[in-house]
Amino acid sequence: MITLFKIVTNATLWIRNMLQYVAEAASRIFSPNQDEYPDVGVQPFDGDSCSKWM
């Protein structure tokens, strides 16, 4: 037989795990960017400005 203490303990553990899951997701969303892209700046356009078929 499951006691009331076990039910409350399991519910508390479940709530704690869910809050940790949401907090980790929020911290990843709102943390500074971690991408390691090179700083290349703006690249000039080297193609044709207008094609003849237009």
The Cα diameter of the chain in Å comes to: 83
Half-sphere exposure of 30 (CA within 13 A, CB side): 6
Interval 43-52 mean pLDDT: 70
Residue with tokens 């207008």: 50
Q: Model confidence at 41, in pLDDT bands (50, 70, 90)?
A: confident
**Structure confidence at residue 53 (pLDDT):** 65
What is the structure's pLDDT at 52?
67
Residue 30 and residue 52: Cα distance in Å, rounded? 47
For residue 54, the model assigns a pLDDT of 57
pLDDT digits (tens, 9 = 90+) for 4-37: 999 999 999 999 999 999 999 999 999 888 777 7
